[in-house]
Amino acid sequence: MPRGTAREDAILTATLDVLGEVGYDRMTMDEIAARARASKATIYRHWPGKPELVVAAVRNRAGGPAAAPPDTGDLREDLLAVLTAMRASLTGQDSALILGLMIAMRRDAGLAEVVRAQVVDDKGEVFGAVLDRAVARGDLPGGTDHTLFVEISSAMLFSRLFITGLPLDDTFLRHLVDEVLLPLLRRC
């Protein structure tokens, strides 16, 4: 592993460790630098501030930005594939870390802005690509509103995983697509 990559990984790992121990509000760049055995200058060369660093660390643990959605030629199957990938990403996360990050977003507008721009918008792009292809195939009318659709999809997965504790299995994903998402898309 090249030195730069190893250094970045150490910084991102230290960021999540410190975040998990003290929370976003009490986390400092000094503590991250000390834990990663890196200088603050090294950290600031890669990330302009704490919000960007935290988002990069969370993304690194999750495996990076959302992958391009599959094109099965069928809207239902494309939606199931995207939701399956989202489920894998969510279940691979440390729930305490994600919930702590969400609480911090409520108090720190800068963090919230960065998270929304880099994480939430990724979901919009992935679903947007699926819906745009469906419009091009004639499966959906033009002008379909992606925003509400993305919000509902994310909220349902999040609720199952972090709030209700009900299964987030393939049966639920099929139910979500068939009974909620497809009817919603056809009404928009």
Q: What is the pLDDT along the chain (188 residues), one digit of tens a residue?
A: 444 588 999 999 999 889 888 888 899 999 999 999 999 999 999 999 998 999 888 777 766 556 678 899 999 999 999 999 888 878 777 777 777 788 888 888 888 887 787 677 778 888 889 999 999 999 988 887 778 888 889 899 989 988 898 999 999 999 999 999 999 888 76
Q: Same domain, yes or no, for 31 and 108?
A: no
* Residue 64: burial class (beta carbons within 10 Å; 0-12, 13-18, 19+): exposed
Cβ atoms of residues 181 and 153 within 8 Å: yes
Q: Are residues 55 and 71 in the same domain?
A: no
pLDDT of 1 reads 41
Q: Are residues 94 and 183 in the same domain?
A: yes
User: Does one domain contain both 123 and 52?
Assistant: no
Is the same domain home to 117 and 55?
no
Q: What CATH number is given to the structural domain containing 10? A: 1.10.10.60
Tokens found for residue 37: 């055995």
Co-location of 72 and 55 in the same domain: no
Q: CB of 78 within 8 A of CB of 133?
A: yes
- Structural domain that includes position 33: 3-60
Phi/psi for 114 (5° steps) reads -65, -45
> Rounded to an integer, what distance in angstroms lies between the CA atom of residue 176 and that of residue 72?
19
| pLDDT the model gives residue 2 | 45
Domain boundary among 13, 29, 60: 60
Domain boundary among the residues 12, 28, 60 is at 60
Burial of 43 (0-12, 13-18, 19+ CB in 10 A): buried
Q: What is the pLDDT of residue 62?
A: 64
Residues 12 and 34 in one domain: yes
Do 47 and 114 reside in the same domain of the chain? Answer: no
Q: Residue 172 is part of a domain; what is its CATH number?
A: 1.10.357.10
38 and 107, same domain (yes or no): no
> What total of structural domains would you count in the chain?
2
Of 60, 88, 109, which closes a domain? 60
36 and 92 share a domain?
no
Residue 9 sits in the same domain as residue 71: no
Say if residue 73 is in the same domain as residue 119.
yes
Q: What is the pLDDT of residue 151?
A: 86
Whole-angstrom Cα distance, residue 62 to residue 92? Answer: 7
